[in-house]
Copies of this chain bind each other. A is one copy, B any other.
Amino acid sequence: MSQESYDGGDLRNTGMRLKHDREWDYELDRIVDAVAKRDAETVGLQFPEGLKRRGPKVVDDLRERLGGDVTVMLSGQPCYGACDLDTYLMKRTDVFVHFGHSPMKESEKIIYVPLFSNVEVTPIIEEALGTLEGPEGSPDVGLVTTAQHMNRYGEMREFLEERGYEVHSRRGDERLTHEGQVLGCNYASADLPVDQVLYVGGGKFHPLGLAMEHPEKRVVIADPVNNVVTVADTEKFMKQRYGAVHRAMDAETWGVIFCTKIGQGRWEEAQSILADNDDAYLITMDEVTPDRLRNFDVDAYVNTGCPRITTDDGPRFHRPMLTPGEYRIATGEKPLDSLSFDTFHGTW
């Protein structure tokens, strides 16, 4: 999912242009220990897009500590989440390190380095108090954040509780590592008996998904990275979704995308669509991009991979691109008012 290229909706402060200079702990000791323990000759490092520029410096630091006999490699594959492991590099290196995300599934093979943010969170939560309802009369608030700020989740909760809020939280499902954590594709941690949810974290990517998944809740965004408080507004996004569904209603032929990334495949979903539609064609790929689909001659696409490619990048594709649920509306199987956000559950 290309956050940078998105030009619609409510993603102005995406966290891509940071106001804070952040320092990260790459946990080199843990990597060096694993190399020694496994007598490793090769180490693979995978960084998310926003941190790839740090890669060469981390390699320098590792080389200095590991010496010349260990080959350190950087993954050049795009990476947008723990769902998005570079399995080629993982299989071909003795130690494989995935930076910037919490584990979607524990594995002996993979060292997950979460890269917790050092940004203070309480000042922006203080500012958000002016936007939250309550605590008088409406003391209930759900609290969620991203992997980067999980190390301060207790601090966030305490701050709110001290000011009279009843803070609700849950872990979500097995796709999520921590209590209160959200992913771009999974907001099960906000399945809470509250009317308002406070999201603490950088950018609008996550809270926008949260607001689409839970349209009945008010989502207040306390962004400690860009230093802004806003309320998630999904209107423009939802109009785009309805627009795409309507355009796809005339489609005679469909491309059914099965994503081959380890954490983004929904094979049964793809199969069930194909079973009922003779004019649907299964297309397998890892990166789902407008360029790659331009050469196929079908009228519309249904994407069973990452839902955020569909909802956020959808307008960039030359043909309507729908989620599985939207596909069933466009083909008349389900009513228009069943339109909802596509979420992703389970691991692999």
Contact = CB atoms under 8 A, between A and B. Distances in A.
Contact of A293 (B54, B76, B274): B76
B56 A284 contact: no
Specify which of A75, A260, A281 lies most central, judged by the most chain B CB atoms within 10 Å of its CB: A281
Interface in A249-305: 253, 255, 257-258, 260, 271, 274, 278, 281-288, 291-293, 295-298
B71 A253 contact: no
Interface string A219-239: 000000000000000000000
Q: Give the dominant DSSP class at A's interface.
A: mixed
Nearest to A292: B76
Interface string A110-134: 0000000000000000000000000
A258 B78 CA distance: 15
Contacts of A50: 295
A33 interface: no
Contacts of A56: 253, 255, 281, 296-298
B292 A77 contact: yes
A120 to B, nearest CB: 27
A286 B285 CA distance: 13
16 contacts: A50-B295, A53-B295, A53-B296, A53-B297, A55-B281, A56-B255, A56-B281, A71-B271, A73-B258, A74-B283, A76-B283, A76-B284, A76-B285, A77-B284, A88-B260, A88-B286
B295 A72 contact: no
Interface string A51-85: 01111100100010000000111111110000000
Contacts of A174: none
A49 interface: yes
A249 B209 CA distance: 46
A73 B259 CA distance: 12
Contacts of A287: 287
Contacts of A49: 295
Given A89-B284, A284-B88, A296 B52 contact: yes
Candidate in A54, A73, A288 with the most chain B CB atoms within 10 angstroms: A73
Contacts of A77: 284-286, 292
Contact of A71 (B54, B89, B255, B274): B274
A56 B301 CA distance: 13
A244 to B, nearest CB: 19
A317 to B, nearest CB: 13
A76 B88 CA distance: 18
